Structure 1
Amino acid sequence: MDAYLGEIRAFPYNFAPRYWLECMGQTLQVSQYPALYSIIGTKFGGSSTTYNLPDLRHKVIAQWGQGAGLSGYSFGQSLGANSVNLLPPQLPPHTHEWRAVRKVADSSIPSSGYLANIEDTIEFKTFTAAGTNLAPLHPATIGITGAGQAHENRQPALAMGFYICVDGGEYPMRP
């Protein structure tokens, strides 16, 4: 199979062909594959005697650089997150329904945080049993939504193995 040393390919099987290793971020000794080290160095981690292969488990590949109107990425930069907690600024605009009665609070209309009409006007305020002080709405008035749990943040994908040619390939000549 013709390949360049350091070339990464996706294969439709679950084993590494001869002269290839799976891209799982594993640490290799420089002395084990010195030609591959001369090409990728410690770009994906390592030290003076070791280097790491790229870790492409649970990742999609993005082109480094910057296209017109797009974010710029450095070569070897890891991007994204497996899950995200949404905050109020990221929620879509929406409303919550609530209802009130147009009557003065009395024994038939609880005055423990529900909205009630002040005398015969159209102004609504909340009342507590202690009097006319403003108080928070009763929890049943507008329900709480959400539990603050993270959601998966992944585009549809097909799981395959990514493998890097570590030996037996042609050494790529730099231009």
Structure 2
Amino acid sequence: MSDPFTGEIQIYAFNFAPYNWAACSGQLMPIQQNTALFSLLGTTFGGNGTSNYQLPNYIGNIACGQGSGPGLTPRVMGETFGSDSVTLLSNEMPSHTHGARIYNQTDPSKRQGTPAANYALTVPDTVTPFTTTNTVNSTFPIGTIGVAGGGVAHENQQPYLTLNFCICLSGVFPQRP
């Protein structure tokens, strides 16, 4: 492997930062002890800029290139965006249906407790849900197929592995263009 550049970020598959590297976990760094890295990062990721600066924070986040492209939102270095959870509204979900499958339990002694696989507890007495036509001839209770979610947010995270982003504290200083 070639010599790393100061400020270079690499992904490692172990839970510690190599020698002269630091985990990208948003920690504050003293400027006096890391002047070369501060000259590259500044306060892009935080810090007060007089006594400390902050390293990038990839805990629960993903790397994203800066700039823009056709149909993409412009991004700048140090920007964070997105959310850990999302609550979908009904107008954000595609139109779809859920069918109810009902099976008759032919053995009356088993019409209690937990039904066997592919069997219901009992057939409703006042309707005939089992027909050979597609014509609706009965209405099931509203709870048969209900609304799910209840306005509660769900997790909105990309798939991930246990990899750690680390930044080089001391390496070859990159030449400026």
Corresponding residue for residue 119 of structure 1: none
Corresponding residue for residue 155 of structure 1: 158
> Which structure has the greater CA radius of gyration?
1
CA RMSD of aligned residues (A): 2.1
Greater mean deviation of Cα atoms: 72-81 or 32-41: 72-81
Which structure is higher in RCO with an 8 Å CA cutoff and minimum separation 6?
A: 2
In the aligned structure 2, how far is the partner of 1:16 from the partner of 1:96?
A: 50
4+ residue stretches of structure 1 with deviation over 2 A? 94-97, 138-146
Corresponding residue for residue 84 of structure 1: 86
In the aligned structure 1, how far is the partner of 2:89 from the partner of 2:54?
A: 36
Normalization by structure 2: what TM-score?
Answer: 0.69
Q: Secondary structure at the match of 2:15?
A: coil
User: Kindly tell me: are residues 95 and 161 of structure 1, through their superposed partners in 2, closer, same or farther at Cα, counting changes over 3 Å?
Assistant: closer
* 1:68 counterpart (67, 70, 77): 70
In the aligned structure 1, how far is the partner of 2:37 from the partner of 2:22?
A: 12
In the aligned structure 1, how far is the partner of 2:53 from the partner of 2:163?
A: 24
* Aligned 1:1-175 pairs, distance under 5 A: 2-47=3-48, 48-94=50-96, 143-167=146-170, 169-175=171-177
Q: Secondary structure at the match of 2:33?
A: coil
In the aligned structure 1, how far is the partner of 2:8 from the partner of 2:172?
A: 10
| 1:5 positional shift | 0.4
Unaligned runs of at least 5 residues, structure 1: 98-137
| 1:52 positional shift | 0.2
Q: Secondary structure at the match of 2:10?
A: strand
How many residue pairs get aligned? The number is: 135
Q: Are the aligned partners of 2:13 and 2:162 in contact in 1 as well (CA < 8 Å)?
A: no
In the aligned structure 1, how far is the partner of 2:17 from the partner of 2:56?
A: 15
